Amino acid sequence: MKKKISFAAIAFALAMLVAAPMAQATTITEVQAMIASLKTKTETVAISGKQADKDRAGLLAKLNEASLKVDQAKFCDAIAKLNDFKASVNHLITVGRINQDPALGTTGTELLADADATIAALNELQVQSTGAACVF
């Protein structure tokens, strides 16, 4: 009977190891929801300066491009667009033209963190589809 229990325990453990990654797999729908949330935050974050509308439009265009690349299953291209988005947000932070006070709403730092989370999810999709993460 001990052999049956041991075999059952091993079989259960193996089943859990196989099922766990599948249960946590990232989907295109989840990534699109992350991008949609990032768009909403980008639409509402306080950006100052004479070119605030242009800056916001540029950020949103990068997110729209990333979303299109996700729909096309071009995950590394989507990551490149999100890296462009991050570079623009970092520039706005550096020049002091994007909100950095959490008490006043969404911050540039929050946009960066959300973009990083989306990039991580995209890398997971890339690994699921090709077996290798994106390399830049």
Question: Which among 69, 93, 78 is positioned nearest to 136, based on CA atoms?
Answer: 78
Q: How far apart are CA 63 and CA 74, in angstroms?
A: 14
**Of all residues in the chain, what percent are helix, strand and coil, respectively (each to 5)?**
75, 0, 20
Domain boundaries, the chain: 27-130
- Report the CATH fold assignment for 27-130: de novo design (two linked rop proteins) (1.20.1440)
Percent of the chain with pLDDT over 90: 79
pLDDT per position as a tens digit, 5-60: 565 555 555 444 444 333 345 899 999 999 999 999 999 999 999 999 999 999 99
pLDDT number for residue 2: 47
